[in-house]
Amino acid sequence: MTSARNPVPDPSAIGFAAHDHADCVETAIAAAEARCAAEKLRLTPVRRRALEILLQEHRAMGAYAVLEKLNESGFGSQPPVAYRALDFLVAHGFAHKVERLNAFVACTRPGESHAPAFMICRICAAVAEAGATVAPDALGEAAEASGFTIERTVVEAEGICPACSEKADA
Amino acid sequence: MTSARNPVPDPSAIGFAAHDHADCVETAIAAAEARCAAEKLRLTPVRRRALEILLQEHRAMGAYAVLEKLNESGFGSQPPVAYRALDFLVAHGFAHKVERLNAFVACTRPGESHAPAFMICRICAAVAEAGATVAPDALGEAAEASGFTIERTVVEAEGICPACSEKADA
DNA sequence: CGGATAGATGATATAAGGTAACATGACAAG
DNA sequence: CTTGTCATGTTACCTTATATCATCTATCCG
Ligand SMILES: [Zn+2]
Ligand SMILES: [Zn+2]
Ligand SMILES: [Zn+2]
Ligand SMILES: [Zn+2]
């Protein structure tokens, strides 16, 4: 992946604002463990580590970037290792796939059932998950009118994040 | 194909309904030619053929599938041939990229400037472009609040199309 | 306990999607 | 006719994703 395609965003800028990162990782992992226990999901070592990686990096990561980190932690080095762990996380809402980037990001609202919406900076590739569920009503209506049953909706806005916006001004 | 109309989308424009396909291809090509002439865009043979291919197939096609067809028509056989033609079509609104499928589809509302929204059947991969522009208001508000400038929004709903829905019932 | 079953992991191989870079060709402006 | 611009073609390569088979590990049940 070239830097032009996948520039590395400022890790401290999630949701485009600073935050207590160590705390945010711990909290999310704990929440995931609790939910897996409650719902009899198996948060196995690879899966747990994959979630940790996404949380620690706090940005959208390609499956192969996650794979590399997993491998450094002693897990397999082949693509399916990463894809399977990521599939699990996505399937159960611990992470999301950002279709626009073919990348994955830890959910910032775990526990709340939601259709995620993202804001993606086209300069620095920072990704922020919108706070509220953002379901376009008009689409639901169009779907109903045509007999289409919506199961999942991808909403991804591309543009310029506050940080890059400021840099451009300077 | 269609022009401004009432809020209820025409089912035939939705894509999950029958329509006069030969006519739909011709009309769209003619419209594209007209617009390119008017805006001094160069609808070259490859680009024109690529648009024809997307229109004829009337479904989301991968770049390599388009490439194969282009090659059968006497154009180059290397990926950039297809990607460049598709980039042109997408850049000027004659086609859209469906991020969820890594595929391309001819626009069903050419001429109308719009942020496209798609409904994608997870069974048969049929893709319909929603009639109306579907801009999630809540996302715009979230963006404004955080200082993010939206330039483009991807909206893609995944689910079951009417045809597959009926088959499932049977 | 011992075997059956289901789910998870590992490794191999390959498919599918996408770009960078450079050479050639068409064409219009000067 | 030269120069600049844009389009096309090709080589080479990179990134993303899945199919498949083998192995392992928990869990359930008799
Ligand atoms: Zn989320
Ligand atoms: Zn940015
Ligand atoms: Zn369109
Ligand atoms: Zn279908």
pLDDT band at A22 (very low <50, low <70, confident <90, very high): confident
Q: Collect all residues of chain A within an 8 Å Cβ-Cβ radius of residue B136.
A: 117, 134-136, 155
pLDDT at position B11 is 41
pLDDT band at A68 (very low <50, low <70, confident <90, very high): very high
Q: Hey, are the CB atoms on A159 and B136 less than 8 Å from each other? A: no
CATH number assigned to the domain covering A11-169: 1.10.10.10
Q: Which helix (H) or strand (E) holds B150?
A: strand B149-160
pLDDT digits (tens, 9 = 90+) for B18-60: 778 888 899 999 999 999 999 999 999 999 999 999 999 989 9
Other Cβ atoms less than 10 A from the Cβ of B150: the count is 18
Which of A148, A165, A167 to substitute to test the interface with B, most B CBs within 10 Å? A148
Residue A136 has pLDDT above 50, yes or no: yes
Q: Collect all residues of chain B within an 8 Å Cβ-Cβ radius of residue A164.
A: none
Say what the pTM is.
0.88
Residue B130 has pLDDT above 90, yes or no: no
Q: Residues of A forming the annotated binding site for Zn(2+)?
A: 121, 124, 161, 164
3-state secondary structure chain A: CCCCCCCCCCCCCECCECCCHHHHHHHHHHHHHHHHHHHCCCCCHHHHHHHHHHHHHCCCECHHHHHHHHHHCCCCCCHHHHHHHHHHHHHCCCEEEEHHHCEEEECCCCCCCCCCEEEEECCCCCEEECCCCCCCHHHHHHHHHHCCEEEEEEEEEEEECHHHHHHHHC
Question: Using CB atoms, which residue from B130, B142, B149 is nearest to A130?
Answer: B142
Domain ranges of chain A: 11-169
Q: Collect all residues of chain B within an 8 Å Cβ-Cβ radius of residue A124.
A: none
Provide the shortest C-alpha distance from residue A72 to chain B (in Å): 30
Provide the shortest C-alpha distance from residue B17 to chain A (in Å): 8
pLDDT band at B93 (very low <50, low <70, confident <90, very high): very high
DSSP B94-117: SEEEEGGGTEEEE-SSTTS----E
From B74, B158, B152, select the one nearest B113 (Cα to Cα). Answer: B152
pLDDT digits (tens, 9 = 90+) for B77-89: 999 999 999 999 9
